[in-house]
Amino acid sequence: MSAETKNIPPALQVVAPLAQPGHNYESISRAISDVILEKPMPKPWYATIAIGLSLLGILGASSAYLFWEGLGLWGINNPVGWGFAIVNLVWWIGIGHAGTLISAILLLFNQDWRTAINRFAEAMTLFAVMCAGIFPLLHVGRPWAIFFIFPLPNTMSLWPQFRSPLLWDVFAISTYFTVSLLFWYTGLIPDLATLRDRSKKGIGRMIYGIFALGWRGSARHWYRYEMAYLLLGGMSAPLVVSVHTIVSFDFAVSVIPGWHTTIFPPYFVAGAIYSGFAMVLTIMIPVRIWFGMTDFITTRHMDNMAKVMLATGLVVFYGYCCEAFYAWYSGSDYERFMMLNRATGPYAWAYVCLLLCNAVSPQFLWFKWVRTNPLPLFLLTIVVNIGMWLERYVIVVTSLTRDYLPSAWGEYAGTIFDWAAYVGSIGLFLFMLSLFVKFLPMITIFELRVQQHQIDNGEIR
């Protein structure tokens, strides 16, 4: 069937195509499943998993020692009760948001270009949330009593305290993880069937078979399947917004100057998407090359993601401005001093860096050249990742070191154990990603087929 392009809007005619021409259903299936079933893993993959594993080791060792000795090993103190643990938690959760956004919200907005990247982004979401999930456990003073925060049957006839934002977090994050997992798995079922049918080895075939649940591509099944998939997407959209809103409540609900502000929910969500897209790109740019996915993940995708980053980056910048403005406008000495101290106090360096990373650097994304060239874009995403970590650092630390009573002011600096936990979590992330690309299709095959079908029909290009 000829690719007639009459009904393509001229604007799209010029941009890169969603997929390189010359593919058909079979070639698509092969291209992706062969990575798992046939081809050997590229060298960089071995490097990545090695790094991941060693960092993971650091995480294990440092956590064990932490559990044994106590939180004193960290830099936290009075008045700074929260440090790296919370910073990392918020950072990881934020990163997670891109996945759900791409798979759910773009699905609802019917954005074709999500097809090639949503599987990967969703996987990232899951792993990011896992990384975030380890921090509450490390963070509490008595991890062996952490079950107190779940509404479990107990002989004390006690309940958790439902007014606490931390408890909201527990529910929000665990729900977020579960739903993302279901969503992701639902998307996987048909591809697992493909792998089942294409793999020769008995064991692999077995395992893929088990998880494919006996999917056979029946029209009736597809019919309900699409309905369920749409519903899950519909639910994930508000969920993803709620999660970072609730995370921001940890701060917004408190009384601490610089935390107690209503701007946080929207500006946290924007920041989350911002950092999420940055991380997707950071991972995607090398991966598409290593695994020869350039046919399906084209500059078009990078261009679009970069645009989303630019948009959310601007929202975040707007958030910073609002913070400063309202600090002044509130007329409250506490707020004004907080802002002043942020900009000129002992942690000014962090504030300046974060402005450079999050407010200035994204401006480069106005240039198409930056958006469509892997290297500059890759570097820029790294910068943004750092910037977003600093943002949380600034929020947590500057406010706590200087709040109401000058006599109770303090200082904070992470110790080696703080850093160990942080890089350790990155190790976990890399390790999980490596396993993912090794054993599961990194691009949704059946949706690519749909896309191919539409391309063949000239509905899109």
Partner 1 sequence: MSPNDLDNILTDREAPASMSEHQDVNYWRHANEFNGAVTIDDEKHREFDADDPENLDHAGRRNFMKVMGASMMLAGLTSCARQPEEKIVPYVKPPEHSVPGRFQYYASAVSLSGYAMGVVATSYEGRPTKIEGLKEHPASLGSTDATAQASILDLYSPDRQESISHAGNLATWNQLVADIARAVGEIDTVDGAGLTVLTETTTSPTVQGLMAQLQQQFPEMKWREHDPMGNNNARMGALQAFGRITATKIDFLKAKIILSLDANFLNEGPAHVRYARDFAVTRSAEANADAPDYVAREHFAHDEMSRLYVAECSPTLTGAAADHLMGLRYGHVEALARVVASRVGVANVTADPEKVAALDGAWIDALVDDLTHHKGHAVVVAGEAQPPVVHALAHAINGILGAVESGLVTYIDSPEADATDQQGSLRRLVDDLNNEQVKLLVILGGNPVYNAPGSIDMAAALNKVPLRLHLTPEYNETSELCHWVVPESHALEAWGDLRAYDGTHSIIQPLIRPLYSSRTASQILSLVLGEDATTTDYDLVRRRFSGLYGAESEAKWKKALSQGFVEGTTFAPVSVSYRGSIPAETAAVPTEGLELIFRMDPTIGDGRHASNGWLQELPKPLTNLTWDNALHIHPTTAMKYELEQEDVVILKVGEHEVRAPVMLMFGHPQGVATLHLGYGRQVAGYIAKDRGFNAYTLRDESSPWCINEGVTLKKTSSTYLLARTEEHNNIEKSLQTQAQKAEDRHLIRSGTLSHYKEEPDFAQRLGHHAPERENTLYNPDEKDYAGLSWGMTIDLNRCNGCSVCTIACQAENNIPIVGKAEVAKGREMHWIRVDRYYKGDMYNDTVESAHQPVPCMQCENAPCEPVCPVGGTMHSKEGLNDMIYNRCVGTRYCANNCPYKVRRFNFFHYQIREGQDAPQLKMMRNPNVTVRSRGVMEKCTYCVQRINRARIDAKVAAAKIGSDVTAIPDGTLVTACQAACPSQAIDFGNINDASSRVSLRKQNTRDYGLLADIGTRPRTTYLAKLSNPSPALAGADAEAHTAEH
Partner 2 sequence: MAQVFHRSANVLARASIVGGGLVAIAIVTIASVIYRSPVLTQVNIAKAQPVPFSHQRHVGGNGIDCRYCHTSVEKSGVANVPPTETCMTCHSQILTDSEMLQPVHESWKTGKPLEWTRVYDLPDFVYFDHSIHVAKGVGCTTCHGEIQKMPLTWKAKTLHMAWCLECHRAPQKFLRPKDKVFDVDWKPAADKSERLEAGLKLVEEYNVNVEQLTNCSICHR
Partner 3 sequence: MSAHGHEDETPKVHGLIAEFDDPESLVKATTKAHEAGYRTMDAYSPFPIHGLAEAMGVRGTYVSQVTLIGGLTGTATGFGMQWFASTVHYPYSIGGKPLNSWPSFMPITFELTILFAAFAALGSMLLFNGLPRPHHPIFNAKRFERASSDGFFLCIEETDAQYDTDQTKAFLEGLGPVEVSEVLE
How many Å apart are CA 378 and CA 441, to the nearest integer? Answer: 23
Which of partner 1, partner 3, partner 2, none does residue 409 bind (CB under 5 to 8 Å by kind)? partner 1
Q: Nearest CA to 73 among 460, 309, 421, 445?
A: 421
Residue 137, token pair as written in the block: 């456990």
Which of partner 1, partner 3, partner 2, none does residue 242 bind (CB under 5 to 8 Å by kind)? partner 3
Each residue 221-240 as x (binds partner 3 by CB under 8 A) or -, in order, gives xxxxxxxx--xx--x--xx-
Distance in Å, CB of 410 to partner 3, minimum: 24
Say if CB 414 and CB 48 are below 8 A apart. Answer: no
Question: What is the distance between the terminal CA atoms of the chain, rounded to a whole angstrom?
Answer: 14
Kindly tell me which of 28 and 316 has the beta carbon lying closer to partner 3: 28
Q: Which of these segments, 157-165, 176-184, 268-276, 358-366, binds partner 1 (CB under 8 A)?
A: 157-165
Q: Nearest CA to 26 among 184, 185, 197, 187?
A: 197
* Amino acid letter, 98: A
Which of partner 2, partner 1, partner 3, none does residue 205 bind (CB under 5 to 8 Å by kind)? partner 2
Please give the DSSP secondary-structure letter assigned to residue 105: I
How many Å apart are CA 218 and CA 275, to the nearest integer? Answer: 39
Each residue 182-211 as x (binds partner 3 by CB under 8 A) or -, in order, gives xx-xx---x--xx-xxx----------xx-
Site for partner 2 in 135-194 (CB under 8 A): 153-158
Q: Nearest CA to 85 among 150, 134, 143, 125?
A: 134
Q: How many CB atoms lie within 10 A of CB 153?
A: 5
Kindly tell me which of 15 and 146 has the beta carbon lying closer to partner 1: 146
Residues 6+ apart with CB under 8 A from 133: 173, 177
How many Å apart are CA 227 and CA 86, to the nearest integer? Answer: 38
Among 30, 205, 260, 307, binds partner 2 (CB under 8 A): 205
Residue 208 sits in the site that holds partner 1 (CB under 8 A): no
Q: Which of these segments, 119-127, 128-136, 141-149, 210-218, binds partner 2 (CB under 8 A)?
A: 210-218
Site for partner 1 in 355-394 (CB under 8 A): none
Which of partner 2, partner 3, partner 1, none does residue 144 bind (CB under 5 to 8 Å by kind)? partner 1
Q: Nearest CA to 93 among 37, 149, 35, 135?
A: 135
Kindly tell me which of 197 and 456 has the beta carbon lying closer to partner 2: 197
Residue 157 sits in the site that holds partner 1 (CB under 8 A): no
Residue 214 sits in the site that holds partner 3 (CB under 8 A): yes
Long-range CB contacts for residues 174-180, cutoff 8 Å, separation at least 24: 175/239, 176/93, 176/96, 176/100, 176/129, 176/239, 176/240, 176/243, 177/126, 177/129, 177/130, 177/133, 179/232, 179/235, 179/236, 179/239, 180/96, 180/99, 180/100, 180/122, 180/125, 180/126, 180/129, 180/236
Kindly tell me which of 22 and 202 has the beta carbon lying closer to partner 2: 202
Among 76, 128, 386, 421, binds partner 1 (CB under 8 A): 76
Residue 70 sits in the site that holds partner 3 (CB under 8 A): no
Among 61, 137, 213, 231, binds partner 2 (CB under 8 A): 213
Among 135, 184, 249, 268, binds partner 3 (CB under 8 A): 249
Among 68, 162, 369, 375, binds partner 3 (CB under 8 A): 162
Among 46, 65, 67, 325, binds partner 1 (CB under 8 A): 67
**Three-class secondary structure assignment of 27-62:** HHHHHHHHHHHCCCCCHHHHHHHHHHHHHHHHHHHH
Long-range CB contacts for residues 163-166, cutoff 8 Å, separation at least 24: 165/246, 165/249, 165/250, 165/253, 165/254, 166/250
Kindly tell me which of 23 and 300 has the beta carbon lying closer to partner 3: 23
* Amino acid letter, 117: I
Q: Which of these segments, 9-17, 105-113, 139-147, 420-428, binds partner 1 (CB under 8 A)?
A: 139-147
Cα four-point dihedral sign 349, 351, 352, 358: positive
Say if CB 124 and CB 442 are below 8 A apart. Answer: no
Among 82, 84, 135, 168, binds partner 3 (CB under 8 A): 168
Among 5, 41, 181, 197, binds partner 2 (CB under 8 A): 197
Site for partner 3 in 14-33 (CB under 8 A): 24-26, 29-30
Binding site residues, partner 2, CB under 8 A: 153-158, 196-197, 205-206, 209-210, 213-214
Binding site residues, partner 3, CB under 8 A: 1, 24-26, 29-30, 151, 157-163, 167-168, 171-172, 175, 178-179, 182-183, 185-186, 190, 193-194, 196-198, 209-210, 212-228, 231-232, 235, 238-239, 242, 246, 249, 445-447, 449-450, 453
Binding site residues, partner 1, CB under 8 A: 67-72, 75-82, 139-150, 152-156, 158-161, 163-167, 170, 250, 253-256, 333-334, 337, 346, 400-401, 403-411
